[in-house]
Amino acid sequence: MKIRVKFAKRGEMRFIGHLDIMRYFQKAIRRAKVAIAYSEGFSPHQKMSFAAPLGVGLVSEGEYFDIEVYTSYSSSKMIAALNEVMAEGIEVLSWKRLPEQAKNAMSFVAAADYRLTFREGYQPEKLEDFYQGFLSFLSNDSILTIKKTKKGERELDLKPFIYQATIEKEGSIFLQVCTGSSNNIKPELVLQTYYEKVLQMEMPKFAFQAQRLEIYANIGTEEEKKFVPLEALGDEID
């Protein structure tokens, strides 16, 4: 059966890169004695697929990977078994059974929520003016920027790929942006563009701590999007 696992990545674990997180879970799956399925051939490997790589330095409350297993206990027992072998900073949050025809998590990724908070010492003197200017900037008809890719640089209009933007009561910036293989928008790029276009300055490298809150699939259309968390596409096992 196909299983979708949701986990949090906190604390010092934010400095562990994506490939090491993959290797970590491969070992943790074995330690927890999960009946995971392996590929065939000369070099069998666990059938495991991650949703969207998280940048080094970011913490998250909503990371996902899919696996295939031969058998499974209840979701609560599987979560407990995995958390018993987790290192500090990693916590398994959910274990959901997927429909047999379900595609892997990576192919469904459409959007993600982020919270960005100023690090101590980096807050501008007029914080309220900064926030109001940022929201006003996002209300423009277009937000042109230069996005670096593996093939070089290209001009991109960020406007269609920013789905939500608010200032939270705690003084953090909340952004919901397009995420996926085709148009993967990092929240830092949105802020960097604001700094360059409006504030006429380079964004300090370590000004913000970014946290990913959730990853979504689009179960609507491109014209009328309807986002649901990736875990909502699966069911609890009793």
Q: Give the C-alpha separation, 198 to 25, whole Å.
A: 43
d(CA 133, CA 130): 5
41 has pLDDT over 90: no
Which of these, 232, 238, 212, 178, lies nearest to 4 by C-alpha position? 232
CA atoms within 13 A on the CB side of 122: 12
Cβ burial, residue 1 (10 Å; 0-12/13-18/19+) = middle
pTM of the model: 0.93
For the segment 162-174, the average pLDDT, to the nearest whole number, is 93
pLDDT score, position 146 = 86
Tell me, what amino acid is at 27? K
State the pLDDT at residue 103. 82
Q: What is the pLDDT of residue 140?
A: 95
pLDDT in tens, 132-157: 999 999 999 999 998 877 777 888 99
Contact criterion met (CB below 8 Å) for 58 and 222: no
Tokens representing 147 are 């996005």
- pLDDT value of position 102: 85
On the CB side of 136, CA atoms within 13 Å amount to 10
Does position 78 have pLDDT exceeding 80, yes or no? Answer: yes
pLDDT, tens only, 204-228: 988 999 999 999 999 999 889 999 9
Q: Give 237's contacts (C-beta < 8 A, 6+ positions apart).
A: 72, 73, 74, 75, 78, 95, 96, 97
What pLDDT is attached to residue 108? 87
pLDDT top residue among 182 and 169? 169
Measured torsion, CA atoms of residues 36, 41, 42, 47, in degrees rounded to the nearest 10: -30
Averaged over 76-100, what is the pLDDT?
Answer: 97
User: What pLDDT was estimated at residue 42?
Assistant: 85
